[in-house]
Amino acid sequence: MAIQRDRYLEQLISKKDNGLVKVITGLRRCGKTYLLRELYRSWLLEHGVKKENIIYLSLDANANATYRNPILLDQYLRSKIAAASGRCYVMIDEIQYCVTVPNEALPKEVRSSQNAITFYDTVLGLMDVCDLYITGSNSQMLSSDVLTNFRGRGDEIRVYPLSFKEFYSAWTGDPREAFREYLYHGGMPMVLAYQSNQDKGNYLRRLFTKTYLLDIVERHNIRNSSNLGEVLDFLASSTGSLINPTKIAARFKAEHISDVSRNTIDDYLQYMEDAFLVQEAKRFDVRGKEYISGQQKYYFTDLGLRNARLNFRQFDRPCLLENAVYNELIMRGYRVDVGCVKAKVKNEDGKWGYKNLEADFVVHDPEKQMYIQVTEGIDDIGKKEQEMASLMHIRDGFPKMILMDQDVPPHYLDNGIQVMSIQDFMLKY
């Protein structure tokens, strides 16, 4: 099933031969290999690159286990480059399988972890003789690593599961039906290959436990994986809610779930981010233009994985809609925060007081800012006022938008707030 990933393909094309190593990161099984081996390779062939000048190597394949040694990897790739004529394009898939080895060129008494040979040494050494692309899927391939370990010579491209537009391009039915399916089973590309809900659910559950969860446990030497599972379950049940590790630890202890500490919970949350399972959205004081510490929200990178973790028991559509919009904004390259607006309002007794209102998303890019509210609908006056309250108390001139889970044409309200259906936003906007 051919699904075009134009957003990422265009990034690869624009970065071709730029003198940097292209580091393609993201959740395992989200389509990085397909992007590189199929889509980008085909583009190179169509634009005059000879077949023998495209060198692809997958390190997660057992047949290539020898090349997980960075020295042998270097020797192999240099031999392939030498045998070709002209500019070579080298693609190393799942580079994190490459291990660290002692530098045997040094005397034994001075060998250490500081002068050991890693895949970073191999990659940096090859950059001057080819155009290099690598993929990675876990905490060894974070944005910070691209900036530091590649010594300023790395160029990251973050790949996500399918956007709704990409998902719909492979769908044959009604868009609303496709959107329900997207909210339920998510955008992992292989989900589209299964026909029954049971097979889709089994695939996602297996992917979660046998790939992502196992990777976190093994990488961080977690001895009590049940505590990690409890935190994951809590996070999945609380998608889009404000999270505080201290309160989670206290609740677990009070309800006799576990005695996991606040610091351990904080570590677990970071591990999940490192594995690209979830992303943190910080609270941002719109008026004060500063971040608010203490609580934050977490959104799952893929909705199907979130639902599978809960065995598809908690299909809370409002929180899934919010998560879907957050993912869409992140995929488009925006920085996204949760907005906090301090407003003077009347309480139930008719007295004036200050209250913190929430704008679902404050969307930043280098040139502008935008505020977005996500809702199932604003059919009645009370609901309409509720959804507009935070937006109306934001006094700057940046655009404001309400995204609705209803089939409405894009339009503007009298107060200048734009209203649009979530599907239109994802497919056309």
pLDDT digits (tens, 9 = 90+) for 289-313: 899 998 999 999 999 999 999 999 8
- pTM value is 0.91
| Rg of the chain on CA atoms, in Å | 24
- CA pair distance 60, 71, nearest whole angstrom: 17
Q: What is the pLDDT of residue 296?
A: 94
What does the pLDDT read at residue 44? 98
| pLDDT over 90 (residue 388) | no
Q: What is the pLDDT of residue 349?
A: 74
Convert the pLDDT of each residue in 258-272 to its tens digit: 888 999 999 999 999
- Give the whole-number percent of the chain exceeding pLDDT 70: 96
Q: What CATH number was assigned to the domain covering residues 6-159?
A: 3.40.50.300
Mean pLDDT (the chain) is: 91
Rounded mean pLDDT, 337-361: 83
Give residue limits of the domains in the chain: 6-159, 164-280+301-312
Count CA atoms closer than 13 A to 266's CA, side-chain side: 9
Bridge partners, 370 (sequence order): 363
Residues 145-178 pLDDT 10s: 665 777 788 898 999 999 999 999 999 888 999 9
Q: Cβ contacts of residue 238 below 8 Å, gap of 6+? A: 298
pLDDT digits (tens, 9 = 90+) for 391-412: 988 988 899 999 999 999 999 9
55-86 pLDDT, tens digit per residue, is 999 999 999 999 999 999 999 999 999 999 99
Could you tell me whether strands 131-136 and 369-375 are parallel, antiparallel, or unpaired per DSSP bridges? unpaired
Q: What letter does residue 252 receive in the DSSP assignment?
A: H
How much is the pLDDT for 385? 72
362-382 average pLDDT score: 83
pLDDT score at 353? 73
CA atoms within 13 A on the CB side of 372: 26
pLDDT, average across residues 76-98: 95
Residue 144 confidence (pLDDT) above 60: no
Say if residues 194 and 203 touch (Cβ distance below 8 Å): yes
- Of 336, 334, 342, 343, nearest to 322 by C-alpha is 336
Q: Please state at what angle helix 175-185 crosses helix 197-207, rounded to 10 degrees.
A: 40
CB 221, CB 238: distance < 8 Å:
no
pLDDT for residue 96 is more than 70: yes
Neighbouring CB atoms inside 10 A of 78's CB total: 16
